[in-house]
Amino acid sequence: MFSSTLLTVAITLAAPAGKEAKAEPGKIEGDWIVEKYVQGGKENEKRKGSHFTFKDGQVSVQEEGGKGIDYKVDPKANPATLDLTFIASIPGIYKIDGDTLTICFPKGEKGERPKKFESPEGSGLVLMILKREKK
C-alpha cells in the first residue's frame, strides 16, 4: 500500500494555472492534506484526508508510517515540474496558489509528464489537490 500511495503521489486537481499560481523553491515544503484525488477521471474518496510532508527533498505519507521517497522540483519550468523517484523517476507537474498545492502525474513508472492539470477518464493520470496544514 505504501508504494502505491507514493506512486500515486508521484506524486491534485484544479483548473488551468492562472497568473497568480506560481511555484517557488521551498514553497512546496511543509505538511499538506489531500482534499481531492482523481485517477483516470474517477474521484477516490479513500485518499481524501491523507497527510503528505515535503521536506529536505523527500515526500512522505503519514498514513504509511512516514516513509519517504525522493523528489526534485523545477519551479522555473512552465508548468513547474515535480519528479518523484521510487525505483524509477515519475514525471509530474505542480503549482502552488496560496495554501493550495496541485499535483498531476502519471500512475506508474512509464508515463509521460502531463502538460495540463487534469485527469481525463481512462487517461491513467492522477490529479491531487492538497491544502497546506494549519498548525
**Which residue is it, cell 523528489?**
71
Nearest Cα residue to 2 out of 63, 51, 54: 63
Tell whether the model's pLDDT for residue 67 goes beyond 80.
no
pLDDT tier, 26 (very low <50, low <70, confident <90, very high otherwise): low
Confidence at 75, pLDDT banded by 50, 70, 90: very high
* N-terminal to C-terminal alpha carbon distance within the chain: 27
Taken in order of first residue, the domains within the chain and their CATH numbers are 2-132 (2.40.128)
- With a cut of 60, say whether residue 17 has pLDDT above it: no
Rounded Cα distance between 123 and 133, Å, is: 30
**pLDDT band for position 3 (50/70/90)?**
very low
Cβ-Cβ contacts under 8 Å for 52 (sequence gap 6 or more): 9, 11, 31, 32, 33, 34, 59, 60, 61, 62, 130
Instruction: Supply the pLDDT for residue 94.
Output: 96
